Structure 1
Amino acid sequence: MPPPERLARAALARVAEPGDPLVGRWLAESGPLAVWDALRSGGAALPGASAERWAGLLLRARRARPEADIGLIGELGGRFVCPGDREWPTQLDDLGVTRPIGLWLRGACSLRFVSLRSVALVGARACTDYGAHVTVELATGLAERGWTVVSGAAYGIDGAAHRGALSVSGATVAVLACGVDVSYPSAHRELLDRIAAGGLLVAELAPGDHPTRGRFVLRNRVIAALTRGTVVVEAGRRSGALNTASHARRVGRHLMAVPGPVTSGLSAGAHRLIRAEATLVGDAAEIVELVGEMGELADPGPSPLVPRDLLAPRAALVLDALPGHGDSTLTEVAGGACTSEADALARLRELCGLGFVERVGERWRLAPESTRHARVVPASAHGGP
């Protein structure tokens, strides 16, 4: 982007609130230079702005110093990325007029490249031990598969997501509701530094800007649009993670949720999503199966087997013909299995050798439970005449 337009966008990032649709329409219709010139000159209000709104924007415009902001981000080892730049993730354009004016980045990774295969993990700040454990497992599994973990660097699920990715030297991106030079929450200062060293800190707000309640909500749309899918790990009925989920649905991203205990209020929001629209996931492989390329399927794993699952069909029928208690004659067993007495006798002898039945004189009965599970079914039992 030409330097004048870059400076204009840097100035507007200081003046406008993130995701302001009115400013977004001005940019789409007139371009950043015209919008910034109108604000800087203090002239007539642009279309759609009330007198009060225009006055507030003018006050902010007088304090904007885009050259200083771009110089400061450079001193931090970061940069200001605008639409049209090679590093700009074009999936953010799906936000339409609420697309970021630009993004302030801190970290060596290319935002465009690390977001190509990325998943958002979001959830409650006051999460349970269960939620934190599941999040770390998901984040490490995704990172080990080469996926970038994106979250908001808040307490709870967000922090667990970033730490899980970092624990296996994976890429992680924190989308902030403040400037990239502001450590918020302050207890995450070290975590934010680690993310900047191995991944990226991303913000719409200029350096030095502090978060507000509304900015946290607006930040969520960037998390949703940047990634291929959003996973809600743990969320109450009024969790901010549900706001991220709504943005993911709006821009056509995959929406997933992790189930939790039905007795936990922090699972209520996730369960509501699963009932309505989200796909239930339990591990990283199931997430990748949804958001990955064709053929990246989750391994269902081996089904649990019990010894009788390995019996040949005819042997299983004879075994089913024996009563749960008491014993039966050969004739009764053959009738119950709908086969000849000769065939029933052959099958009973096989079952006796495998420990499933035992003979009592001329009668047959099920062997004790301990005997049935003590023997290994040989390969010959897979078939049968």
Structure 2
Amino acid sequence: MREAIATTQRWVIHIESRLIAGHDGLNTDAINRLAGELATLHQRGLDVVVVSAGATAACAGPANAAPLPLHEAQALAAIGQIKLTNGWAQGLAAHGLQSAQILLTQDDLSHRKHYLNARSTLQVLLGKGVVSVVSENGTIASHGIRAGDTDSLGALVVNLVQADVYVLLTEVQGLLMPAAESGQADTFIDQAAAGDATLDRCAHDMTERLGFDVRSWLRSARLAARSGAHTVIADGRQAGVLDAIARGAPVGTLLTSDTHPAASRGRWLANQLPMRGVLEIIAGSYPGESDASGITALMVLRVEGVFQRGDMVVCRGADGVELARGLVNYSAQEIQKLRGQFVEAFSRQIGYVAEPDIISRENLVAYAAP
């Protein structure tokens, strides 16, 4: 399985605040070193999205040594976010990489329209070779800023960009099985299935001993596994750690997923979301299961229902047979104006182009031809 990591294409890398926090704010040396590691991955041709904690830590000092009321913590995050963004921008620029700032909350990714907007933005940035630095929008978020659980945001970004690998860079070499479980000294866990129940005892024991929440790492790894991504928990202070993981070296703890990303996303699309409308499409024009195309405006004959961008719709032939279903990039009213049109006409018809397809292939579950 380690060797399989070396063949993956898209990574989400979560960087804990403790790795980049200094006594009086950000540790720019640590950021610059990690930026160099990211540049190495970029040179390998990997797509990389960074999820960075540390906005509040950027304002570290005596005033916030103790837990703060929520609104004070949010205010500090607002100040620190600028410092964090600039730190990453300068660190990555030193290695010839362009960066972009993406501020999200977990609530954003539960809203389908926001989800699609964020996904489209990230896809464009990845296509341009830009390293997106995703941070929790601490000014309006409450969960992560209270619990410090930005790991979960990282796992949600894995689903957002359909990543193959989720790397959690921490201050430990990986997960350790406590002596009570192994019957001997604590044992380093090289590899395990993310869903392995014995890992819960391990995460609980490490949380009690280390004083920070290892259980959140495990929850995030399991969330990423449901999206089909493997997780590596590794020591972010180790020089060359990302390159070593990319080479398939036995670095950190590998938590494996038994779910294929496409299958996982297909089940989510097909079974978890309510249907908001129907598109009747030209018989024989719909994509098959192995087709790489989506549903274009040229395919659409008729629109039924009232729905918005990000809603789930059913695609049917004129005979009423369901052919596919997926998340639309345009509202029902907009699709009514766009049906039968080439993408070049979109701006003239509705004033903008969100996506070239009515339903993008990655947001579509197509069934085999009847």
Structure 1 and Structure 2 fold alike (TM over 0.5) = no
Kindly name which structure, 1 or 2, has the bigger radius of gyration based on alpha carbons. 1
- Name the structure where strand makes up a greater proportion of residues: 2
Alignment TM-score, normalising by the size of structure 2: 0.27
- Name the structure where helix makes up a greater proportion of residues: 1
Q: Whose RCO is larger (CA < 8 A, sep 6+)? A: 2
